[in-house]
Amino acid sequence: MKLVVLSTDTPHHRFFAQKIHSFIKIRGLLLETSQNKPAFDVSTPFKKKETEFELKNFFSDVPNVFPNCPVLSYESINDKKVINKLRQLSPDIGIVFGTSKLKQDVISCFSSALLNVHRGMPEYYRGLDSDLWAIKDNNYDQIGTVLHLVEPELDTGDIVGKEILSLNQDMRIHKIRYYTTLLALKISIKVLKQYLDGQMVPAPQFQKGRYYSYMPSNLKKELEVEFNSYCKNL
């Protein structure tokens, strides 16, 4: 298996890459450095608590760095330099976790499959902040992680793995990304094993979910109170 991972530099992506690399060697880890900046405030009010929780829990058994594999950074994941590097690596399978939307020139560099980690249920919530939009709609059973094939249209590809996040009285909104990343790791390793055994079976999405963009900061602050209260009363 020639596996390439496309991602960005965050604690949860470093953890994910470390764990994947310990299962199957990553031939190349390509990082996107630029970020879209909307015209309104999208900062996360619980960001400090989220980061502290992740740093404490992710790196108890792996270092807080990217794995010992070729790691390259690019301003845009759709840069011609990325395409040239992918053609050089000639991957048969790839995993995308947290980059901007991929163009067809990038997708076509993977001979077998390119899989996307979507922290949410794309059949209901495509795009950004999917877990938070589900909370806004009180759809707590639609918080989780899906691994699906990448298509030119965002988050519409066939699903190869899916898990709903189990909520309990100890769950808080700043812990969601940690636990959905654990689900992403669990699903990805399972699917990579299936791929190696020739048993990966993609299933079409039963409907095209609505596309959501960035959630405003003030709404995130409201949802923090609502979600934490909901979990406390489970």
What string of pLDDT tens digits covers the 234 residues of the chain?
Answer: 999 999 999 999 999 999 999 999 999 999 999 988 899 999 999 999 999 999 999 999 999 999 999 999 999 999 999 999 999 999 999 999 999 999 999 999 999 999 999 999 999 999 999 999 999 999 999 999 999 999 999 999 999 999 999 999 999 999 999 999 999 999 999 999 999 999 999 999 999 999 999 999 999 999 999 999 999 999
What letter would DSSP give residue 182?
H
pLDDT at 130: 97
d(CA 214, CA 229): 23
DSSP-assigned letters across all residues of 24-35: S-EEEEEEE---
Classify 173 as helix, strand or coil.
helix
Q: Structurally, how many domains does the chain consist of?
A: 1
Classify 185 as helix, strand or coil.
helix
Instruction: Name the helix (H) or strand (E) containing 191.
Output: helix 176-196
pLDDT at 36: 86
107 φ/ψ angles, rounded to the nearest 5 degrees: -55, -40
d(CA 202, CA 161): 8
Nearest to 18 by CA among 55, 61, 70, 62: 62
Nearest to 187 by CA among 170, 206, 166, 163: 163
Q: Could you identify the residue written with the tokens 């020639």?
A: 2
For residue 145, list its beta bridge partners: 163
C-alpha 217, offset from chain centre: 21
Q: Supply the CATH number for residue 173's domain.
A: 3.40.50.12230
Q: At 6, list the tokens.
A: 């496309």
pLDDT at 35: 87
Nearest to 131 by CA among 148, 144, 122: 144
pLDDT at 85: 98
Classify 203 as helix, strand or coil.
strand
Give the range of the structural domain holding residue 90, as residue numbers without chain letter: 3-232
For the chain, state the CA radius of gyration.
17
